[in-house]
Structure 1
Amino acid sequence: MELGISTFGEVTPDGVAGKAVHAHQRVQQLLEEVKLADEVGLDVFAFGEHHRPDFVISAPEIMMSAAAAITKNIKLSSSVIVLSSADPVRVFQNLATIDLISNGRAEMMAGRGSFIESFPLFGYNLNDYDALFSEKLDLLLQINKQEVITWKGKFRAPLTNQAIYPRPIQPAIPIWLAVGGTPASAVRAGRLNLPLAIAILGSAPGQFVPFVNLYRESAEKAGHEVSKLPLAISSQFYVAEDARQAADEFYPSYEALMNRVGKDRGWSPMNRAQFEYLRNDGPLVVGNVQLAIDKIMAQYELFHNTRFLAQLVTGFTPHVKVLKAIELFGTKVAPVIRKEIGVEKVV
């Protein structure tokens, strides 16, 4: 099983037109994080796209490109690129360029987006939410397979015998579908034989077993080899030497994030009791090294996933402690997981 990190790059809003001090600091920290993740032997680092004042990453491909220049082995991905409001031609060109810079380490996770800010920002109608994603995914997959494209759709200009450059050093860019639990998304990923990434954030992991089964059943019905389907599970994560220390250090950032998002979505305010329930019986992987190992292995027993992504939530956590959590993940948690599953780290 591959082990990696995903981040949205939480930031304290600067509220200025220029001289964005917090944004500058946070981007530098993100580069420190991915460099360390590479050094401690983690497999993947993924940058998520948002267009909000509280997240600094609006252009995952640019962060991936910067990361490519300072790392050696780690795979670089998005988590996600909001494909519905992007141009698939430009997305592919960006990823292919990153692949050339990184010597073949570029990936992407494509998603419809859990936030909707990108739709008005780039001139799309939210009523076309599903149709936009389907059409753009179709175009992206075609570009990924062939150099010269003839294609026609509803939401962008057609392409007639048009060549798309550059091409990646890999035979094709690995394209994952990132989903939150909509059954139609599982069916689509299985039918298209695409890797699936599931974010398990607020529900018990066991509730996603039927969803994963649907994914694999859909792939089998479409004639694909189910045993070769990559599956990633993503959960919010923080590890420290002591379990109580981890909970105390992580909770302020988690509470702030959940209440900030929850205010927009009408959720009840997060409190410490709810947090402890999610940490003990829910999907949160927050604790000491052994707890992290146990939780990741419990998810593996449920899903037999090929990848686990630790979603960092870092708004109020001192950066030195975030770096320590990454170090512990790579040097203490990952080796045990790989040994128990029987996977050797390949460099």
Structure 2
Amino acid sequence: MQFGIFTVGDVTTDPTTGRTPTEHERVKAMVAIALKAEEVGLDVFATGEHHNPPFVPSSPTTMLGYIAARTERLILSTSTTLITTNDPVKIAEDFAMLQHLADGRVDLMMGRGNTGPVYPWFGQDIRNGIPLAIENYALLHRLWREDVVDWEGRFRTPLQGFTSTPRPLDGVPPFVWHGSIRSPEIAEQAAYYGDGFFANNIFWPKEHYQRLIGLYRQRYAHYGHGAPEQAIVGLGGQVFMRKNSQDAIREFRPYFDVAPVYGHGPSLEEFMRETPLTVGSPEQVVERTLKFREYFGDYQRQLFLVDHAGLPLKTVLEQIDMLGEEVVPVLRKEFAIGRPANVPDAPTHSSLLAARTAEPAPAEA
């Protein structure tokens, strides 16, 4: 099972000091977070994509390419890549290039994003969000698998005899997760292609995500990719830790109370009861995360959000240290217990390449 960090790259004022980091500081902080993730033995670093303040990660492949040059083992991913407003041709090219530079340590998460105004900035209409996601991914899927593509659709100019370059490393496209907070259409899309499904799992009660993941598993089997329990599922999580829970709650509360996303709403205690947010000791984080398997079944990837709401970099790096030293080793051990043999690991470039190599050659006519 894979464990890692995902970030949205927000630039938020620290409510305890009144200081707002510069964009330069925030960009460099995201790099430091990725390097720390590898240092402590985590598997994945994923960055969001945003094109509006107060966020900085407008060019994920640029950042991930820089991180690739400074790491050796870390899988580099996104959370998310905007399949609705990016040209599928450019996604195909950018991530294939990154795949080569990172020697295959690349996958990506497709999503529609959560910022409505981004659509007209890139010449699209938010009312076409789902059709854009479906059509654009259908094209991207072909661009990585066919050397020459003829294509015509609704939302971009046709392609005639087009070859996306560079071709995917070893002829193996990056593995794709489809991320969703609320859309069954995206769960259906992930199932249709046999791709992974990533449930954000930080804002809503577990019952909401149980429905989405259950639908994905059911449809994954329907399309003949395997049994429902073999579907590839990823989950988000949101944590803040200190040695004892009282200190964690006291320190995190001012950040929670004014956070741009959920501040000025339910209390911290209410939010922890109704969502997967865990503020407490490392032992409490382990206990809460292990329950995810009870709710959603065995799954392949767990990413944690730890660098938001104005938390200073020093504090975030301390959180990652605790994940690497006190949380993830226990989770690896506990999640392995009783895991059925037919439940696959999260796909990697090497596993996808091995599976392709093992495929029988097509019969001659």
Counterpart CA distance in 2 for 1:45 and 1:30 is: 10
What is the match of residue 173 of structure 2? 172
Give the SS at the match of 1:308: strand
What is the match of residue 146 of structure 1? 146
> Per-residue deviation at 1:146?
2.2
Counterpart CA distance in 2 for 1:342 and 1:130 is: 36
Task: Select the residue among 232, 235, 257 that pairs with 1:233.
Answer: 235
- The two structures have a TM-score, normalised by structure 1, of 0.89
Counterpart CA distance in 2 for 1:78 and 1:325 is: 21
Deviations 1:206-256 (A, max 9, x none): 432232121111111111113432100112222222222222333333333
> Per-residue deviation at 1:179?
0.4
Would you say the 8 A contact 1:51–1:117 is kept in 2? no
Would you say the 8 A contact 1:254–1:313 is kept in 2? no
Give the SS at the match of 1:54: coil
1:312 maps onto 2:309 in alignment:
no
Would you say the 8 A contact 2:307–2:316 is kept in 1? no
What is the match of residue 10 of structure 2? 10
| AA partner of residue 65 (structure 2) | S
Shift of the 311–12 alpha-carbon distance from structure 1 to 2, 3 Å rule, reads: closer
Counterpart CA distance in 1 for 2:9 and 2:250 is: 21
Shift of the 222–77 alpha-carbon distance from structure 1 to 2, 3 Å rule, reads: same
Counterpart CA distance in 2 for 1:278 and 1:166 is: 46
Instruction: Say which is worse superposed, 173-182 or 52-61, in terms of deviation.
Output: 52-61
Counterpart CA distance in 1 for 2:303 and 2:33 is: 14
Task: Select the residue among 272, 293, 297 that pairs with 1:279.
Answer: 272
What is the match of residue 219 of structure 1? 220
Instruction: Say which is worse superposed, 247-256 or 307-316, in terms of deviation.
Output: 247-256
What is the match of residue 327 of structure 1? 321
> Per-residue deviation at 1:281?
5.2
1:184 maps onto 2:185 in alignment:
yes
> Per-residue deviation at 1:202?
2.5
Would you say the 8 A contact 1:46–1:79 is kept in 2? yes
Shift of the 281–111 alpha-carbon distance from structure 1 to 2, 3 Å rule, reads: closer
Deviations 1:63-83 (A, max 9, x none): 211111111111111100111
> Per-residue deviation at 1:21?
7.0
The answer for unaligned runs of 5 or more in structure 2 is: 14-19, 338-344, 351-365
Superposition pairs for residues 1-347 of structure 1, below 5 Å? 1-12=1-12, 22-169=22-169, 171-226=172-227, 227-257=229-259, 260-261=260-261, 269-271=264-266, 274-280=267-273, 282-303=275-296, 304-342=298-336
Counterpart CA distance in 1 for 2:282 and 2:160 is: 54
What is the match of residue 16 of structure 1? none
Counterpart CA distance in 2 for 1:154 and 1:207 is: 32
Would you say the 8 A contact 1:150–1:162 is kept in 2? yes
| AA partner of residue 26 (structure 1) | R
* CA RMSD between the two structures: 2.3
> Per-residue deviation at 1:321?
1.1
> Per-residue deviation at 1:280?
4.4
Counterpart CA distance in 2 for 1:331 and 1:169 is: 34
What is the match of residue 265 of structure 1? none
Counterpart CA distance in 1 for 2:204 and 2:302 is: 17
Deviations 1:7-48 (A, max 9, x none): 0112148xxxxxx97000111111111001011111111000
Deviations 1:258-315 (A, max 9, x none): xx346xxxxx9325xx211222453102221101111110002221221111022433
Deviations 1:301-340 (A, max 9, x none): 2212211110224332221111010111112111101111
Counterpart CA distance in 2 for 1:69 and 1:305 is: 30
What is the match of residue 340 of structure 2? none
Give the SS at the match of 2:115: coil
Would you say the 8 A contact 1:235–1:283 is kept in 2? yes
Give the SS at the match of 2:26: helix
Instruction: Say which is worse superposed, 122-131 or 322-331, in terms of deviation.
Output: 122-131
Aligned length, in residue pairs: 332
**Structure 1 residue ranges (4+ consecutive) displaced by more than 4 angstroms after TM superposition:** none
Instruction: Say which is worse superposed, 91-100 or 178-187, in terms of deviation.
Output: 178-187
Give the SS at the match of 2:236: strand
Instruction: Say which is worse superposed, 104-113 or 312-321, in terms of deviation.
Output: 312-321
Shift of the 94–119 alpha-carbon distance from structure 1 to 2, 3 Å rule, reads: same
% identical aligned pairs: 29
Counterpart CA distance in 1 for 2:246 and 2:63 is: 33
Give the SS at the match of 1:186: helix
